[in-house]
Amino acid sequence: MTIPQPHDDPATFWEAHYAKMTKPSGGRPSAILVRFADGRRPGRALNLGCAQGDDVIWLARRGWFATGADVAESALNAARQAAQQAEVSDRTHFEWHDLGVSVPDGKFDLVTAMFLHSPGKFDCVAALRRAAEAVAPGGLLLIGSHGSRAPWSWAVPDTVYLTADDELAALDLIRSKWRNLFVGPIERVAKGPHGQTATVTDTVVAVERH
Ligand SMILES: C[S@@+](CC[C@H](N)C(=O)[O-])C[C@H]1O[C@@H](n2cnc3c(N)ncnc32)[C@H](O)[C@@H]1O
């Protein structure tokens, strides 16, 4: 088995990460997605770093046409299978992208990136700026990020995490074109790979395009 190394390119690192997984994902959507997207009028959605498709499938079940993009082909294949089992293949689409280089074409009413973190060669801010450009007028850009390190994380112990304000500033949005819905930290109890728990901070940027 290949052990993921922080200096690997994103595809190599994440393929090795998914190869280590012994169980499929739990099928649970991100709590941040549920909190900020539930009740929005369905349209076209884009989920960056979609992993095994839990958020895309949750959206499709609520009437969205949802596209997921990820650099790990094995995760995308698992997502396609899960969408088929959930009987939402006709409303889901999964595309391979190295998001440091490209994002799916088109405009979307909801663009989400949940914990789109990657060690090594990945310009996440450039990816999130492209994501912001893909938001249609009236649409929501929703970014959830780690604001603290869980004890089991692959991140190095002295990792410095951006605050939500820093993350929003890095996006360099034209302020007059966007309205802040929520920009700040949220605490939650996270579960590690062996069932261990810890209170962690997530940061949320939820901004709507005029
Ligand atoms: C920490 S996981 C988060 C997965 C999921 N969004 C969640 O909330 O559980 C990061 C995901 O982003 C993907 N990813 C990391 N770097 C990427 C890149 N450069 N291009 C596309 N996807 C990437 C990984 O394959 C992985 O599925």
Q: What are the CA-CA distances from residue 96 to residues 114, 153, 178 (Å)?
A: 17, 25, 29
Torsion region of 73: left, alpha or beta (phi above 0 gives left; psi -120 to 50 gives alpha): alpha
Rounded to the nearest angstrom, the distance between the alpha carbon of 49 and the centre of ligand 1 is 4
- pLDDT given for residue 106 in this prediction: 97
Which of 46, 71, 98 for a ligand 1 pocket mutation test, highest count of atoms within 8 Å of Cβ?
A: 71
Rounded to the nearest angstrom, the distance between the alpha carbon of 75 and the centre of ligand 1 is 9
Nearest CA to ligand 1 atom 13: 49
pLDDT digits (tens, 9 = 90+) for 31-88: 999 999 999 999 999 999 999 999 999 999 999 999 999 999 999 999 999 999 999 9
Question: And the tokens for 119?
Answer: 């060690």
For the cut 70, the answer to whether the pLDDT of residue 3 exceeds it is no
Which of 12, 14, 30 for a ligand 1 pocket mutation test, highest count of atoms within 8 Å of Cβ?
A: 14
- pLDDT given for residue 156 in this prediction: 87
Which of 8, 115, 116, 121 for a ligand 1 pocket mutation test, highest count of atoms within 8 Å of Cβ?
A: 116
Q: Which CATH number fits domain 10-209: 3.30.470.20, 3.40.50.150, 3.40.50.300, 3.65.10.10?
A: 3.40.50.150
Rounded to the nearest angstrom, the distance between the alpha carbon of 97 and the centre of ligand 1 is 11
Cβ neighbourhood burial of 172 (10 Å; 0-12, 13-18, 19+): exposed
- pTM of the entire predicted model: 0.94
Distance between CA atoms of residues 79 and 84, nearest Å: 9
- pLDDT given for residue 21 in this prediction: 82
Residues with CB under 6 A from ligand 1: 10, 14, 30, 49, 51, 70-72, 75, 97-100, 114-118, 122
Rounded to the nearest angstrom, the distance between the alpha carbon of 71 and the centre of ligand 1 is 7
- pLDDT given for residue 5 in this prediction: 59
Strand partners, 146: 202
Averaged confidence pLDDT in the chain:
93
pLDDT digits (tens, 9 = 90+) for 120-169: 778 899 999 999 999 999 999 999 999 999 999 988 888 889 999 999 99
Domain range summary for the chain, segments of one domain joined by +: 10-209
pLDDT digits (tens, 9 = 90+) for 75-128: 999 999 999 999 999 999 999 999 999 999 999 999 999 999 888 778 899 999
- pLDDT given for residue 23 in this prediction: 72
